Chains A and B, each alone.
Chain A
């Protein structure tokens, strides 16, 4: 699981039928200090996150597990909204 910040929403009317009624969000991956890492990706939102929120997301075929369908071509899913991070800093 990784951190990311939700930066936007995406509309797609024509999509794989199993994905109907699921919300897709653009997320910008972050490191543990909440600094930007890499390029934004699209993830399915299962928790109701909004733009600006820090979330955690899972990737690869495990991303299908939180969805209400058995099989869907999804490689990233948001699974939690971060309230606070306690991190030991040197």
Chain B
């Protein structure tokens, strides 16, 4: 799953009929320190997220593993709203443990 911040909503009137009722959100991918990256993704919401919230997104075929998205043309779904990150090993100080 990847970490992102919801930055907007998408409306689309003409779409695949399986997508009727889906709530599409634009999500900017973020780093562990909440700074923005250049990547963004349009994801279907399954938890009731809103603009500004930090969320987790499942992508690929896993995005179809919810009751709403099953067998629908969807490849990204918001599956959690993040309360807190606890990063024990900071990225700057990251050193792979040698065997």
Contact = CB atoms under 8 A, between A and B. Distances in A.
8 contacts: A8-B86, A11-B84, A11-B86, A16-B46, A35-B96, A41-B1, A73-B69, A84-B99
Chain A facing B: main interface SS: mixed
A60 B60 contact: yes
Interface residues of A, number: 43
Interface of A: 5, 7-16, 18-19, 24, 26, 28, 30, 33-36, 39-43, 51-52, 54, 59-61, 63-64, 71-76, 84-85, 87
A14 B89 contact: no
A52 B89 contact: yes
Given A24-B80, A33-B96, 11 more contacts: A5-B97, A9-B86, A11-B86, A15-B80, A18-B66, A24-B1, A51-B89, A52-B97, A61-B65, A64-B65, A72-B66
